[in-house]
Amino acid sequence: MKASIPLAAAFVVSLVAPAFATDYYVVKDSGSNGCKVIDTAPTAKDDVLGYPTFYQSKSAADLDMKADKACNG
């Protein structure tokens, strides 16, 4: 019985944790003519590159942003 409570708690946490994950988007920065990574949902005025592509880590978004010709002027 005592072992089942921590297991049940771990199971519940594993179901809830993905809901708190942050998504990252690469958007054109109109001010600098480059790009930037944002961690909030893009708005209608944002020019999202690869939309509806989002990244689950900032490092992956940064890597694609650096490789995208539209972001390098």
Least confident interval from 4-8, 42-46, 60-64: 4-8
Q: Per residue in 52-70, pLDDT tens?
A: 589 999 999 999 999 888 8
Neighbours of 55 (CB within 10 A): 20
> How many angstroms from the chain centroid is the CA of residue 53?
9
Confidence of residue 2 (pLDDT cuts 50, 70, 90): low
Neighbours of 54 (CB within 10 A): 17
| Report field, pTM of the whole predicted structure over 0.75 | no
Residue 8: predicted pLDDT: 55
